[in-house]
Amino acid sequence: MASVHRELERVYHRDSRRVLATLIRLLDDFTLAEEALQEAFAAAAQQWPVDGVPDNPAAWLIRTGQRRGIDQIRRRQTARQYAHLLIPDDTAADEFDDQTIADDRLRLLFTCCHPGLAMPARLALTLREMCGLTTEQVASALLQKPATLAQQIVRAKRKIRDARIPYEVPSADELPERLPGVLRVIYLVFNEGYSRSDGDAVVDVSLTDEAIRMATELAYSLPHGEVHGLLALMLLHHARREAREDECGDLVTLDEQDRSRWDRTHILAGMEWLQQAMAETPTGAYTLQACIAAEHARANTYDDTDWRRIALLYDALYRRQPSPVIALNRAVAMAMRDGPEQGLSLLDELAGEKQIVNYHLYHAARADLHRRAGNFSEARKAYERAHALAAQGPERRFLQRRIAELDHAGGEAAAP
């Protein structure tokens, strides 16, 4: 019996989101599908120890969940409105094969990321429905109160219902307009996992893994240059995850990372997806960012990094996507190629950008370039500003260490 319960737990982690996606299609109701999913797993916990684990657990759970959902509809005395949901008892298990379930996952992704929903709602709904996070976990990830986040998700589901947002993959004509929004949500999920907004962990692997899984499914189902580019970018970044913090959980910067701890399997996979992305034209922003990540992956040491090529890639990226954050990264790359003064000059040009002046990494970059230039007093001021704005524990400890190092260096310089 213990082995059956272990298998049920494994099936839940592997298949619950896939089963939910199909139940949403079959029952045409997010909340009802979620309740049916829980009831299906409760039924499995009772039946599988007696009857054994079915050959196709996902199909069993879908059939059971659909019946439980229909039972709920009947109890609400609205069965006649949902007659199209009823299925005969002899429905073949292969009607819920892997391809059907994968298609439903894709439908759910495009529904959660529909442009009729505000971006915060898209992200919250994707984290809740696609990634399987609890409302409390989503609220923590998005720095919101659970009650506020719960209402946001409820409103999003109501909007999907009332606006009759279709549960479908867009047509080929609609895809160019719809795909960028989906990719942005996936990348936001990845970024929240790769560099948490707050808390005491550098990486939330569950979120980065889920974002990579969503992008992988999308890449196989809808081959497209920017899908390949985003997947490559995430894999190349994710390859560094083990080296980004030390045994105490403290942040390790790129120049100090032990590159032998980088995941070569992820790097090779990222390079392969990047090759496919580069074969598509025109080259998009995610593909350009993946090219930059690939330059870091190719360098055996930090000193071997081809900053000239990275600076050129950032030039191209900035022309395509002239955002303050890209400008910040471009300035750092220019500093590594041409010297810290050049980077500081470019960062000074961003000082009037509202989006950037309260961004802790802007001040951390200024501090680092001042430190490299020997301007320790200015470096300390910028580190203090970055420390005041940072919310993540490891980043705050790193910045505090930098301040302490400057104080120590200043003390040594002042000693007789």
Of 24, 336, 306, 12, nearest in space to 165 by CA: 24
Domain boundary among 35, 62, 86: 86
Does 382 fall in a domain? yes
Query: Where does the pLDDT of residue 176 fall: very low under 50, low under 70, confident under 90, or very high at 90 and above?
Result: confident
Within a domain: 257: no
| For the ranges 96-105, 201-210, 251-260, the one whose mean pLDDT is highest | 251-260
Tens digits of per-residue pLDDT, 328-377? 999 999 999 999 999 999 999 998 888 788 899 999 999 999 999 999 99
C-alpha to C-alpha distances, 258 to 152, 246, 296, nearest whole angstrom = 42, 10, 13
Q: What are phi and psi of 125, to 5 degrees?
A: -65, -40
Segments forming the whole domain that contains residue 64? 2-86
Model confidence pLDDT, tens digit, residues 54-112: 999 999 999 999 999 988 887 775 545 555 555 544 444 446 667 777 889 899 999 99
Write down the mean pLDDT value for the chain.
88
3-state secondary structure of 251: strand
The answer to whether residue 25 sits within a structural domain is yes
pLDDT at 154 over 50: yes
In terms of Cα–Cα distance, which of 126, 124, 123 is closest to 150?
Answer: 124
pLDDT of 352 reads 85
On whether residue 296 sits in a domain, the answer given is: no
Written as six digits, the tokens of 181 are: 């929004």
Average pLDDT over residues 128-155: 86
Answer yes or no: is 333 within a domain. no
pLDDT beyond 50 at 416: no
| pLDDT tens-digit series, residues 43-55 | 999 999 999 999 9
Mean pLDDT of the region 30-36:
92
Q: What is the mean pLDDT of residues 115-144?
A: 87
Distance spanning both ends of the chain, measured CA to CA = 75
The per-residue pLDDT for 134 is 85
Q: How far apart (Å, rounded) are the C-alpha atoms in residues 258 and 252?
A: 9
**Quick one: which of 300, 312, 294 has its CA closest to 258?**
300
Which of the listed residues 52, 69, 86 is the one where a domain comes to its end?
Answer: 86
Sequence-separated (6 or more) residues with CB below 8 Å from residue 238: 194, 208, 212, 263, 266
Give the pTM: 0.84
Is a pLDDT exceeding 60 seen at residue 202?
no
Assess if residue 9 is contained within a domain: yes
Nearest to 134 by CA among 114, 152, 149, 116: 149
Q: Residue 141 pLDDT > 80, yes or no?
A: no
Q: Is residue 331 in some structural domain?
A: no
Looking at the 3D structure of the chain, how many domains does it have? 2
- Between these two residues, 136 and 212, which has the higher pLDDT value? 212
The helix/strand/coil state of 4 is: helix
266 found inside a domain: no
Asked if residue 198 has pLDDT above 70, the reply is no
196, pLDDT greater than 70: no
Question: Considering 86, 105, 133, which residue would you say is the last residue of a domain?
Answer: 86
Whole-number percent of the chain with pLDDT over 90: 62
Q: 273-292, pLDDT tens digit by residue? A: 999 999 987 899 999 999 99
Band (pLDDT 50/70/90 cuts) for residue 293 is very high
Q: Report the C-alpha gap between 230 and 280 in whole angstroms.
A: 13
Bridge partners for 392 per DSSP = 199
Helix, strand, coil % (nearest 5) of the chain?
A: 75, 0, 25
Say which residue, 93 or 184, is predicted with more confidence.
184
Nearest to 284 by CA among 232, 236, 215: 232
Residue 411, pLDDT above cutoff 50:
no
